[in-house]
Structure 1
Amino acid sequence: MHVEACCQDLLGQVLPLIDPKREGICIDVGVGTFAFYCERFSLLGFKTVAVEPLPVKKLQNLCQRYNIDLIKGCLSDINGDQTLYMGKFIGLFNHNFNSLSADWFGSSKNIKQVKSVTLSNLLSSINAEKVTCLKLDIEGWESKIIKQFHELSPFLLPRVVMFEYGGGTSKKNGKGGWSPTFINATLECLSILKQCGYGLSVMVDYAYSTKETIFDLQLSTLDINEIIPNHSIYGNIISFHNWNYPEGKITQICSPYYGGVAQRLLTTIFSRSLT
């Protein structure tokens, strides 16, 4: 499935329903070099913040054009300096794989020191009173942020959370973003979200011929093998706090993004990259 396009469309349709008066802030953490969720949030009329330690010129221009607050740093579990491991994938340097984890499959030995802030300090610095959406794409560190939800006031819990999982190869290979360390981190994200009251969830995976998976965290046993099938490669899980939406409408939004011939080729490359 075309992950980012599908997730952007899904969020684009549901966020105005969740927060029609645009009272909350939307935060794009780990913006990368394409699929600029912050741009979509801003075009929807939300106050938007982008958090990216090494913003590319295109992102800087977008933030100026759409009045998006750009924070040149990373979101992590400390306030201060962090070591960022520059991304590398299939032999090529790629900023979309930059990670705070030296063990991340896309991390190289090239490092940079970057500024870091915790979630509570970020929300304080941007004067957030409500958070409509928090998008996390930080290459294996998503659980470090989601576990900080326990420190937040219930009023500051994001209405919608989207976080990335997996990566580098297919789940059945058990490597890359599917190694025990990172798959347990994904499970920790789901467990904390369940504890915090999140229910309706949608999983969108990159693997060819997949469709979205819709489940309720409050009813889930949190068996990772039941939630994420073995052929999965990488994707996003979107979870909603005390909000429901008909499954048929979710499928209607996602169905145009089901894979084609090009998707099959790219899926093959990803599934073999770490084998």
Structure 2
Amino acid sequence: MRVEACCQALLEHLLPELDPQRQGLCIDVGVGTFAFYCELFARLGFATAAVEPSPTDKLRVVCGQYPIQLIEQCLSDQVGTQTLHMGQFANLANSNFSSLAADWFGASTITRSVPTLDLAALLEQVAATRITAFKLDVEGWEPVVIQQFADLPAELLPQAVMFEYGGGSSRALGEKGWSPRFFEGTMTCLKTLQQLGYDFSIMVDYASGTQAKVFDLQSLDLARESPFYANGVYGNILCFYRQRFSIATIHKVCAPYGGGLANWLISKIVS
């Protein structure tokens, strides 16, 4: 499936139902160079913040138009500075793959020092009192961020969390974004959200022949099973906090976005 287009369609449909009065903040962490979720959030009428250490000119324009609060830092587990390993794909520089993890498959040996903040500092900076959506795409650093959710008061837990998993290989091969270290990190994200009470979940994967999978996170025995397709390539998981939606509606929204591995390759290269 075309992951980003499908996930944006899902959020466009579900967020107004989740928060019809637009009382919560939406946060886009790891904006990248395309598929600006922050723009979608703002267009839907939500107060929005974007966290991106290397904003493109296009993103700056978008942030100025709505407006969107732009934070030019990396979200991590510490306040200070860290080394960002600049992204590379097919021997070409690509900031969509930049990571704080030196061993991330898309990270190069080219580095720069970047300012970082932890989740508590971010929420203080944006004056968050309620969070409707929290989108996270930080190239292997997702568990570092999501584990900090356990320190939040219940009223600050995002109603919807979306995070990226996999990439660069397939689950069957167990390499790159599916290597044991990063797959364990993905499972840590799911375990943390499960422990916090997130239940209704949707997985959208680029693997050929797959469709969006709806599952109840609370019903999974994560010590023994996972929701991933055997031929999974890359995707996003959306987890909702004590919310339920029509499964038929989910599949109807996702139906136009069939696709496969080629879409993943294209989406990561183009800007």
TM-score past 0.5 threshold: yes
- Determine the structure 2 residue equivalent to 1:184: 184
Contact 2:220 2:226 in 1 (8 A): no
- Determine the structure 1 residue equivalent to 2:125: 125
**Structure 1, residues 121-159: CA drift from partner, whole Å, max 9, x if none?**
100111100000000000000000110011101100000
- CA displacement at 1:264 relative to structure 2: 5.7
- Determine the structure 1 residue equivalent to 2:116: 116
- Hey, what's the Cα distance between the residues in 2 that align with 1:65 and 1:170? 39
Contact 1:167 1:178 in 2 (8 A): yes
Q: CA 1:253/1:55 → structure 2, altered by over 3 Å: closer, same or farther?
A: same
**Match runs of 1:157-236 below 5 Å:** 157-222=157-222, 226-236=226-236
- Hey, what's the Cα distance between the residues in 2 that align with 1:226 and 1:100? 26
- Hey, what's the Cα distance between the residues in 2 that align with 1:78 and 1:96? 22
Deviation >2 Å, runs of 4+: 223-226, 263-267
What secondary structure is seen at the aligned counterpart in 1 of 2:83?
A: strand
- Hey, what's the Cα distance between the residues in 2 that align with 1:221 and 1:264? 29
**Structure 1, residues 5-60: CA drift from partner, whole Å, max 9, x if none?**
00001001100101011010000000000000000000000000000001011001
- Hey, what's the Cα distance between the residues in 1 that align with 2:83 and 2:66? 30
- CA displacement at 1:171 relative to structure 2: 1.0
Root-mean-square deviation (Å): 1.3
**Match runs of 1:37-186 below 5 Å:** 37-186=37-186
What secondary structure is seen at the aligned counterpart in 1 of 2:172?
A: helix
- Hey, what's the Cα distance between the residues in 1 that align with 2:246 and 2:263? 31
- Matched residue type, 1:12: E
What secondary structure is seen at the aligned counterpart in 2 of 1:255?
A: helix
Number of residue equivalences: 266
- Hey, what's the Cα distance between the residues in 2 that align with 1:36 and 1:96? 12
- CA displacement at 1:116 relative to structure 2: 0.5
> How much identity, in percent, do the aligned residues show?
50
In structure 1, list runs of 5 or more residues that go unmatched.
Answer: 271-275
- Matched residue type, 1:251: H
What secondary structure is seen at the aligned counterpart in 2 of 1:132?
A: strand
- CA displacement at 1:226 relative to structure 2: 4.2
Q: CA 1:184/1:108 → structure 2, altered by over 3 Å: closer, same or farther?
A: same
- Determine the structure 2 residue equivalent to 1:273: none
Contact 1:87 1:95 in 2 (8 A): yes
What secondary structure is seen at the aligned counterpart in 1 of 2:245?
A: coil
- CA displacement at 1:230 relative to structure 2: 2.1
- Hey, what's the Cα distance between the residues in 1 that align with 2:263 and 2:148? 35
- Determine the structure 1 residue equivalent to 2:237: 237
- Hey, what's the Cα distance between the residues in 1 that align with 2:224 and 2:215? 12
Contact 2:233 2:261 in 1 (8 A): no
What secondary structure is seen at the aligned counterpart in 2 of 1:195?
A: helix
- CA displacement at 1:93 relative to structure 2: 0.9
- Matched residue type, 2:109: K
What secondary structure is seen at the aligned counterpart in 2 of 1:227?
A: coil
**Structure 1, residues 160-181: CA drift from partner, whole Å, max 9, x if none?**
0000000001111111000000
- Determine the structure 1 residue equivalent to 2:7: 7
Q: Which is further off, 214-223 or 136-145?
A: 214-223
